[in-house]
Each structure stands twice: as C-alpha cells, then as structure tokens.
Amino acid sequence: MIDRDGYRPNVGIIICNWKNEVFWGKRVKEHSWQFPQGGIKAGETPERAMYRELHEEVGLAAEHVRILGRTRDWLRYEVPEQWVRREWRGNYKGQNLRASEKPEFDAWRWNDYWVPLASVIEFKRDVYQLALNELAKFLHRNPHERRPNVASAP
C-alpha cells in the first residue's frame, strides 16, 4: 500500500514505562536502534497496525498497554536507495510514521526519554526527534502506575 506521494503508510510506536523511559530495539545484525514500527496493511487502521506490530515485534498485547496519544499529522522519512528492499525498489521512497517467528530485534533496552539519537540510523533521526518532541506532553504524570504506555504516529 503506497500513497500518492510514494510513501508507505507505517506506524511507529514509542513505548514509555512508568519511569518515562522509552523502549529501544536493536535491529537484527545491525548496529542501530529504533522504536517498534511497521507498515499498515490494506484495510487495516493505524491503531490495529500498531497493536499487530507491538505483538509481532515486542510480544505485547492490547491489554498490556494504553494509548496516550498520537502525532497530529503523518511524519515522513526518506529511505536511502541502498536500504530499500530489492522487491520494493521503485515502488516506494520512504515511510509515514505512525512476538514474531522472525524477530526484527536481537537486543532491547529502556532509555531516558531524551536520550541522544546518535544510535538511530541516520535517515530516521529527524522524524524520531519530531515525534518525541510532539509526544512528550503525554509522559507519565503519576509515577506509581506500572502499565506501559504507547504513543504512536497515525
């Protein structure tokens, strides 16, 4: 599913714990960290895609999280030519940001919300900064609540 501008609709998920730390996953066989994310399938809502990706990539179900907020608009990043999967080459140029048999992460960690983004792959850094800035207003106000929260790009 590619939009008219050549972008693949996608959800990006910021998981925040009760200490206002965010979940980072390290891509399998790569040295870059990212939030869980994935494409929206035809006929799927962004919220449904978010829950599917949370389950596939992190093993969380809807009852394990609560949605705190989402970005006002779609956020975009351009995927450099060398990163586009061969079977998609020429079909899309980037992605819109909003427990698997084939894991996408081989490590994970909790970091402070405002951790420097140097460990994020370069072409995603600006959009991650935009999302974190916009969604910061949803950080925990009650540090005693222990259920993870999520905020996503639509």
Instruction: Say which residues have a Cβ less than 8 Å from residue 142's Cβ, sequence separation at least 6.
Output: none
Max Cα-Cα span within the chain: 49
pTM of the shown model:
0.79
pLDDT digits (tens, 9 = 90+) for 3-53: 888 888 999 999 999 889 999 999 888 888 999 999 999 999 999 999 999
Name residue 34's beta-bridge partners: 25
Name residue 15's beta-bridge partners: 150
